[in-house]
Amino acid sequence: MHSIDFPAGWAVRLTATARPDAGVHRWDVNVRAVADPPYPPLRLAYTSQIGGRDCEQHIDIPAQDTACRLEIASRHPVAGGWRDDDEWVEDDTPDGLLIGFSDAPKPGSSRDDLLLRFTFTAPY
């Protein structure tokens, strides 16, 4: 799982893109307030399956009234359930984050089987 903090008042746009030949993946993004340790409750939770004919998804995460943390994960199907994907931070800037996920043991798997791009927008 990858996590990143973002300031209060910032909105986040998530674009999930899957390669059509990469199979199905399930991605999860949880939003938690940073100021509520040790186990802050969920403020928002997003989960979706992507792959095959559904290769692009968009989610807008509204600005929060306090600094928050995004908890980011992706999984691929295995017999009897789901297994965590390998992840790579492809790009990390002050206004964005790009994470690539893959089912590394699968033949033909690539670091961009699933890309999650987060774009942060400052308050106006």
10, HSE (Cβ side, Cα atoms, 13 Å)? 19
Q: What pTM, to 2 d.p., does this model score?
A: 0.88
Give me the CATH topology for the region 2-121.
Jelly Rolls (2.60.120)
**Residue 35 — pLDDT band, cuts 50, 70, 90?**
confident
C-alpha dihedral, 36 to 8 to 74 to 18, nearest 10°: 170
**Residue 36 — pLDDT band, cuts 50, 70, 90?**
low
Task: Map out the domains of the chain as residue ranges.
Answer: 2-121
pLDDT of residue 108: 65
Q: What is the pLDDT of residues 57-66, one digit of tens each?
A: 999 999 999 9
